[in-house]
Structure 1
């Protein structure tokens, strides 16, 4: 059977065209979905980055006000900063995965507890412990943001699997096409008498 006979039939060409159309449609849909998920994830990263920055600044503001003499104005400022810190920490905790980010959530709760302890007993030891916790909060914030950015850069796990599967299918399709092409020409090259 020659290649011209194979592709001139009314069966093979429509099947190949339909298969290619199907692959293009599915690939386009998956890419569009992945793009939309990346947009949502980038918005989430921007929101949590803002919450983390405000929470960190509020924690340092609380510590600064606790260093000052206990004037009524200082106490009012501390209370305002602490309310903002609690609000931002609650937002952050709600945005995090309770299982994957359990250590970070525990650190946030520890920071809030230590600030309350310092507000009641502002010894140097308590202040240093709270400052170290705030510093650890900052470091873990960087780690969280870096992990999420890497995830946006690489793509979601399902998309990566689909892309790798698609590459495999494309390779198999091209290989099968070349085998059919060579098989149809095989008789012309080797079996001529």
Structure 2
């Protein structure tokens, strides 16, 4: 039984369709992962702003605690916005962070220590400042880690980029072989033969 040959035009059309489909798929994956990186960057910016608010309100709360008020009720009436801002920023940060990650645990632990320091009576300002510095240092490490993820891209994006490069090299090699493979082999064989002849000739 003779198998009919497939026209070159049909092979080319199928190959073009496959290549187009792969390129479209890669484009969709890269676009999606880029969008995830944008969301991660926005998340980092939001966390940075909340940390700044938290520390700023902590200073205001500490200042209000050291001021002379007639009663705790007077303190609450005068400094209520500061306490509310401190609690709001702290709650937002705690909802953002993953308590199972080591760097997040460092930040959360320092925040809890600051809560305890602000609630003591009498309050020690140096202890509060130490807690704030610990929050800043732990936050720097965490934000640097997250920025590294944004800079390198998501894992799927990195894998897709490597696949795309391999695919392009394979496509280029296939194209070179399809349109000039025989000639390349012939020329390379002639080149090797001439070199072997030169090396095997006696020295003069």
TM bin, normalised by shorter chain, reads: 0.7 to 0.9
Structure showing greater radius of gyration is 2
In 2, Cα distance between equivalents of 1:54 and 1:177: 59
State the shift of 1:64 in Å: 1.9
Q: Alignment partner of 1:69: what SS?
A: coil
* RMSD after superposition: 2.6
State the shift of 1:78 in Å: 4.4
Question: Can you list the C-alpha shifts for 1:28-52, whole angstroms capped at 9, x where unaligned?
Answer: 2112212321332232223222211
* Contact residue 86 and residue 112 of structure 1 kept, 8 A: no
* Contact residue 60 and residue 134 of structure 1 kept, 8 A: no
* Partner residue, 2:61: 62
Give the counterpart of 2:115 among 93, 112, 117. Answer: 112
TM-score when normalising by structure 1:
0.78
Equivalences, count:
179
Question: Can you list the C-alpha shifts for 1:121-145, whole angstroms capped at 9, x where unaligned?
Answer: 22xxx32122101122122233333
In 2, Cα distance between equivalents of 1:110 and 1:158: 38
* Partner residue, 1:15: 14
* Partner residue, 1:160: 158
The structure-2 alpha-carbon separation of the partners of 1:102 and 1:187, relative to structure 1 and needing over 3 Å to count, comes to closer
State the shift of 1:87 in Å: 1.9
* Partner residue, 1:49: 48
TM-score when normalising by structure 2:
0.74
* Partner residue, 1:89: 90
* Partner residue, 1:150: 148
Q: Which runs of 5+ in 2 are unaligned?
A: 1-6, 191-204
